[in-house]
Amino acid sequence: MSLRVTAATAARVLSQLRRDPRTVVLLLGVPSGLVVLLKYVFSGNPAVFDRIGGPLLGLFPFITMFIVTSITMLRERTSGTLERLMSMPLGKLDLLLGYGVAFAAVAAAQAAVVSAVALGGLGLDVAGSHWVVGALAVLNAVLGTALGLFVSAFARTEFQAVQFMPALVFPQFLLCGLFVARADMARGLELASYAMPLTYAYDAIDLVTRHGEYGGAFARDVAVTAGAALAALVLGALTLRRRTP
C-alpha cells in the first residue's frame, strides 16, 4: 500500500475527466434533470415525489459511477496502460483505491448539485439531515465504483461492459424496496434482495429521508454497504493479474 501511488492515481483519473468536459457536464447535470422530470411526472401526486425522490438522491451516484468506472477500467485494460502499470512498482489495491477516491470526489460534487436542485429548487421534503443524505450518496458512489471496477474484469469489450448495467444494477434497483416494499414481494425475491448490496444502501437512505432515524438499523445498513464496497475492491484486486496468458 502506498499513499503516494493512490493519490497520484486519483489525481490522474481526475485530470482525465477534466480533459473531457462533456462527460463532466453529463455527470453533474443528468441526475438534476431526472429529478426535475420526476417532480413533474408526479405533479398530480406530490407524496410520491417525496417518497422516492429522497432515496434517488442517494442512489444516482451508484448508477453513474458503476457505468463510468467499468468503462474507464476496461479502457485501461485494452489500452495497454494496465499491463504497463502491472510491470511497475504499483500495488493493485493502490490503483483501485485511487479510482475509488477520484470517483468519490466526483460523486460528492454530483450529490451537491442534485441535492441543491431537489432540496432547494424543487422543495423535496426529507426528514433527516441533508448532510447525511450527501454522505450516503458518496458512500453509494464508492460502492458503485468498487462494483464497476470488479465487473470490468469480466468484460472484453465496451459492448459487454455497458450490458452489465442492466444485468447487475437494474435487478438490484427493482428489488431494493424503492418501487415495491420488499415484504410485499414473492418470498424468493425478498430473500434474493438480502444478498444485494443496494438493498442496504436503500434502507439506510430511506431511514434518513423518510424517518430521520440514525439508530442501530441505520448503522448496520451503512456498515453492510461499506463492507460490500470494500469486498468488491478486494475482489477487484484479485482479478487484476500481473501475468496474463
Partner 1 sequence: MASAIDVRGLRVLRGGMLVLRGVSLSVARGRVTGLLGPSGCGKTTLMRCIVGVQRIEAGEVSVLGEPAGTPSLRPRVGYVTQAPSVYGDLSVEENLLYFARVLGAPRERIDAALETVGLGEHRGQVVSTLSGGEQARVSLATALLNQPPVLVLDEPTVGLDPVLRRDLWTAFQALAAEGTTLLVSSHVMDEAERCDEILLMRDGEILAAEAPASLRRRTGAATLDAAFLALVEGRDVP
- Rounded Cα distance between 102 and 11, Å, is 7
Q: Which CB atom, from 187 or from 243, has the smaller least distance to partner 1?
A: 243
Nearest-approach distance from CB 91 to partner 1, in angstroms:
9
- Rounded Cα distance between 212 and 127, Å, is 5
Find the binding residues for partner 1 in span 25-84 (CB under 8 A): 79-81, 83-84
Dihedral sign (CA 94, 99, 104, 109): positive
Dihedral sign (CA 146, 101, 66, 77): negative
Q: Which of 16, 45, 163, 239 binds partner 1 (CB under 8 A)?
A: 16
- Rounded Cα distance between 160 and 175, Å, is 23
**Total of chain residues touching partner 1, rule CB under 8 A:** 26
- Rounded Cα distance between 63 and 96, Å, is 18
Nearest-approach distance from CB 22 to partner 1, in angstroms:
12
One symbol per residue from 90 to 119: x for binding partner 1 (CB under 8 A), - otherwise; what is it?
x-----------------------------
Coil vs helix vs strand at 196: coil
Binding segment for partner 1 (CB under 8 A), chosen from 10-18, 31-39, 131-139, 151-159, is 10-18
- Cell of residue 7, nine digits: 493519490
Nearest-approach distance from CB 71 to partner 1, in angstroms:
13
Q: Which of 21, 44, 89, 215 binds partner 1 (CB under 8 A)?
A: 89
Q: Which CB atom, from 82 or from 141, has the smaller least distance to partner 1?
A: 82
Residues 6+ apart with CB under 8 A from 228: 143, 146, 197, 200
Residue 121 gets which letter from DSSP?
Answer: I
Q: Which residues bind partner 1 (CB under 8 A)?
A: 4-5, 7-9, 11-12, 15-16, 19-20, 79-81, 83-90, 242-245
